[in-house]
Amino acid sequence: MSQITAPEKPETRAALSQLEQLKKYTRIVADTGDFGAIKEYAPQDATTNPTLILKAAQMAEYKYLIEKAVADNRNSALSRTALIGQIVDYLLVLFGTEILKIIPGRVSTETDASLSFDRDGLVAKAHKFIDLYKKQNIPRDRVLIKIASTWEGIRAAEVLQKEGINCNMTLLFSLPQAVACAVAGATLVSPFVGRILDWYKAKTGKDYSPSEDPGVRSVQTIYAYYKKFGYKTEVMGASFRNAGEILELAGCDLLTISPNLLAELKQSYEPVMRKLSPEMSGANDIQKLELEEKKFRYLLNEDAMATEKTAEGIRNFAADTVKLEKYIAALL
């Protein structure tokens, strides 16, 4: 994979925190459903997923949102199963709406992981989210629909983008996934840095420095590919395990960061050097990858890490959605 290098970091301390320095190069996105953390770190955007919403939903300060979601839908003429699903969708949008009162940019709302291999189901779910946001007076340009980067998910994104519904392609672990997303016109992709590192550490038993981190290198390669071949799709590094990974990607289009790592960056005043820029990505030997469905599936199958982590991510997000449904069911 291509790697982009930069001059050695100077030893002097900076006047601004690492978080403020990073904001000069990269759009910072909060990876949380906790409104307090979002207010504290003042990101441009925010992302959520079923795991984060499940965690936030069980916090006392957000009980009012759960109560509203249940009360506003309790009298719907639906079966119990359908009613619970509707309440969950509504709750995700309520969280997104509250987040958009805090941030100036966009919020990402995730589709059901159980729909990851259902193009039409994903399109329908995205339409439902956009309609629910519209009822909250939120325009579609402030919402990103999160979809797993399966072949079917990418095809759903292709349909939605043509309708003016912006997509954030998540659970992405390989260049073929990223290339297919860009060709489909997705607004942005979210390569999962930390989960890639987890896989390699488990397989090799090695520790990796940030500059050698396989997750970092994966994002560098995707970024370089997009810039070299002129794709408008943005790259948002995600799922970080340490601040070093984040700093190695300074200059990436966007970085979505958990509150604990935002705190670490805010408390440090060591200089931050820009590591990624379109200009730095021009001189590389990446070849253009031509993909159709059979080749996409074959290349993904050949990448054990990407295959395993995509499948694992879908299973885990689906499991947390079920937990959230059970939590709601207990309140009915």
Q: Which residues are catalytic?
A: 146
Q: Which of 183, 145, 191, 185 is nearest to 167 (CA)?
A: 145
Question: Which residue, 297, 258, 41, is CA-closest to 154?
Answer: 297
How many helices (H) does the chain have, and how many strands (E)?
A: 14, 8
Q: Is 144 helix (H, G, I), strand (E, B) or coil?
A: strand
Residues 159, 92: Cα–Cα separation, whole Å: 22
Two structure tokens written together for 295:
């080749």
89/93 Cα distance (integer angstroms): 6
Of all helices (H) and strands (E), which one includes residue 108?
strand 107-110
Residues 253, 223 contacting (CB under 8 angstroms): yes
Which residue type occupies 104? P
Residue 282 DSSP code: S
Spell out the residues 6+ positions from residue 119 whose beta carbon is closer than 8 angstroms to its own: 152, 153, 155, 156, 159
Contact criterion met (CB below 8 Å) for 273 and 5: no
The backbone region for 290, taken as left when phi is positive above 0, alpha when psi lies in -120 to 50, beta otherwise, is beta
| Dihedral angle, C-alpha 237, 239, 240, 246, nearest 10 ° | 10
